């Protein structure tokens, strides 16, 4: 059995302590910046934007792969956060509150798209291009990220959010709990269900692709 040496254990402990300190320091800094922003200091809110903009955009792009659209939604989320600072509970962490606004903003957009009959988790760029009949069938080289987003579409919103934040973005269970305002027990249960749903949907998707390809090959053979 592998054992840690005392020096390794000390380094590991020191690393954990440093991470905890950095996290606590970030929370304290966030609280100060939020308080200053609530009192009219726009530069303080700008520092919050700089601190979170990359990760907020990264989360939104899990649902909206179009970069420009995701940028617009991220900006919208920050504007909403700024307008709602007076509603923020300073006894809580700013980060989860901001991510909740970002996720809700993204889902609001997707719902509007769905109501218009254009529901998609993918960019519509290039959809008017006519495929070249001489070009090889692109289904032989399926884009994995595209497939993941296709399967995620089949998962109910509440479960999809947990799966994206926890498994794709690496949020901790406690962070997902704070973002979604659900207990950690609920998050763990939803994550297990979401993983099951994803696995089942993925298998259905792969079977569908295989059947479609087999049908194409059969048709080609009979022509």
HEC string of the chain equals: CCCCCHHHHHHHHHHHHHHHHHHHHHHHHHHHHHHHHHCCCHHHHHHHHHHHHHHHHHHHCCCCCCHHHHHHHHHHHHHHHHHCHHHCCCCCCHHHHHHHHHHHHHHHHHHHHHHCCCCCCCCCCCCCCCCCCCCCCHHHCCCHHHHHHHHHCCCCHHHHHHHHHHHHCCCCHHHHHHHHCCCHHHHHHHHHHHHHHHHHHHHHHHHHHHHHHHHHHHHHHHC
Average pLDDT over residues 9-16: 45
Average pLDDT over residues 64-76: 94
Please report the pLDDT score of residue 167 as a whole number: 92
Please report the pLDDT score of residue 149 as a whole number: 84
How does the average pLDDT of the chain come out, rounded?
78
**Residue 17: pLDDT over 80:** no
Average pLDDT over residues 10-23: 46
Q: Among 48-52, 110-114, 198-202, which stretch is predicted with the lowest mean pLDDT?
A: 110-114
Which residues, 6 or more positions from 32, have their beta carbon under 8 angstroms from its beta carbon?
44
Please report the pLDDT score of residue 11 as a whole number: 42
CA 221 to chain CA mean position, Å? 43
**Is the pLDDT higher at 142 or at 39?**
39
Q: Given the structure tokens 């070009």, which residue do they identify? A: 135
pTM: 0.70
CATH 1.10.10.10 in the chain is located at 143-223
Topology classification of domain 143-223:
Arc Repressor Mutant, subunit A (1.10.10)
CATH 1.10.1740.10 in the chain is located at 24-120
Rounded CA gap, 20 and 22, in Å? 5
| Architecture of the CATH domain 24-120 | Orthogonal Bundle (1.10)
Please report the pLDDT score of residue 205 as a whole number: 83
**Residue 12: pLDDT over 50:** no
Rounded CA gap, 64 and 164, in Å? 12
Please report the pLDDT score of residue 154 as a whole number: 87
């Amino acid at each position: 059995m592998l054992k840690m040496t005392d020096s390794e254990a000390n380094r590991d402990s020191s690393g954990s302590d440093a991470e905890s300190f950095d996290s606590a320091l970030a929370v304290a800094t966030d609280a100060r910046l939020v308080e200053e922003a609530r009192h009219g200091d726009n530069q303080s809110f700008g520092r919050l934007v700089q601190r979170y903009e990359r990760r907020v955009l990264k989360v939104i792009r899990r649902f909206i792969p179009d970069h420009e659209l995701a940028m617009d939604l991220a900006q919208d989320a920050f504007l909403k956060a700024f307008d709602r600072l007076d509603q923020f509970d300073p006894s809580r962490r700013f980060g989860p509150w901001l991510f909740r606004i970002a996720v809700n903003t993204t889902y609001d957009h997707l719902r509007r798209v769905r109501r218009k009959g254009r529901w998609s988790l993918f960019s519509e760029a290039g959809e008017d291009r006519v495929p070249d009949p001489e070009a090889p069938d692109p289904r032989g080289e399926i884009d994995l990220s595209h497939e993941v987003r296709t399967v995620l579409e089949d998962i109910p919103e509440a479960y999809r959010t947990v799966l994206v934040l926890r498994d794709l973005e690496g949020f901790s269970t406690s962070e997902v709990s704070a973002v979604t305002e659900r207990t950690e027990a609920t998050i763990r249960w939803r994550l297990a269900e979401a993983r099951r749903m994803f696995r089942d949907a993925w298998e259905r998707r792969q079977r569908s692709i295989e059947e479609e390809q087999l049908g194409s090959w059969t048709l080609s053979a009979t022509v």
